[in-house]
Amino acid sequence: MSFELLNFFFSPLSNGLIFVLLALGVFIAFRVLDIADLSVEGLFPFLTVLTCYLIRLGWNPLLALLLCFVLGAVSGALNAALSLYLKIPPLLSGIIMMSVDLSFALVFIYYNGGSPTLLGNYPTLFNWLSTLFRLAGLSTFWAVILSKLIVVGAIVALIMVFLYFFFGTELGLAIRASGKNKQMARANGISVKAMTMIGLALSSALVALAASLYAQANLGGTAQDGQGMIVIGLSIIFLGEAILPHHTFKTHLLAIFGGSFIYWYIIQLLIKLMDYIPGGSNYLTLWKAILLTLVLAVPYLILQIKKQRAHKKEEESDAPMPESL
Partner 1 sequence: MVGIRFFVLKEDTLMKHGKMSILVGTSLLLSSLALSGCGSSGKTIGTLKIGAFDALNNAEKGFVEGLKENGFEDGKNITIKSDNANGDGATNTAMAQSLASSCDLVLGISTTSATALKGAVDGIGGSIPVLFTAATDPVGSGLIASMDKPGGNVTGTSDLGPIEAEINLLKKFSNIDTVGFLYTSSESNSVVQLKIAQPLVEAAGWTFVTKPITAATEITSAVSSLSSDVDVLLIPTDNTIAENMANVKAGNEARTGHPLIVAGCDSGMIGGSVVAMGVDYYKLGIQTGVMAAKILNGTKPADIPAEYNTDAVLKINKTWATSLNITIPEAVLNTAGAEII
Q: Which is nearer to partner 1, 69 or 214 (CB)?
A: 214
Q: Which is nearer to partner 1, 17 or 176 (CB)?
A: 176
Q: Which is nearer to partner 1, 53 or 69 (CB)?
A: 53
Q: How far apart are CB 314 and partner 1 at their closest, in Å?
A: 20
Q: Which is nearer to partner 1, 73 or 253 (CB)?
A: 253
Q: Which is nearer to partner 1, 272 or 311 (CB)?
A: 272
Q: How far apart are CB 323 and partner 1 at their closest, in Å?
A: 34
Q: How far apart are CB 302 and partner 1 at their closest, in Å?
A: 7
Q: How far apart are CB 259 and partner 1 at their closest, in Å?
A: 11
Q: How far apart are CB 105 and partner 1 at their closest, in Å?
A: 8
Q: How far apart are CB 319 and partner 1 at their closest, in Å?
A: 29
Q: How far apart are CB 243 and partner 1 at their closest, in Å?
A: 5
Q: Which is nearer to partner 1, 70 or 224 (CB)?
A: 224
Full 3-state SS string of the chain: CCHHHHHHHHHHHHHHHHHHHHHHHHHHHHHHCCCCCCCHHHHHHHHHHHHHHHHHHCCCHHHHHHHHHHHHHHHHHHHHHHHHHCCCCHHHHHHHHHHHHHHHHHHHHHHCCCCCEECCCCCCCCHHHHHHHHHCCCCHHHHHHHHHHHHHHHHHHHHHHHHHHHCCCHHHHHHHHHHHCHHHHHHCCCCHHHHHHHHHHHHHHHHHHHHHHHHHHHCEECCCCCCCHHHHHHHHHHHHHHHCCCCCHHHHHHHHHHHHHHHHHHHHHHHHHHCCCCCHHHHHHHHHHHHHHHHHHHHHHHHHHHHHHHHHHHHHHHCCCCCCC
Q: Which is nearer to partner 1, 81 or 156 (CB)?
A: 156
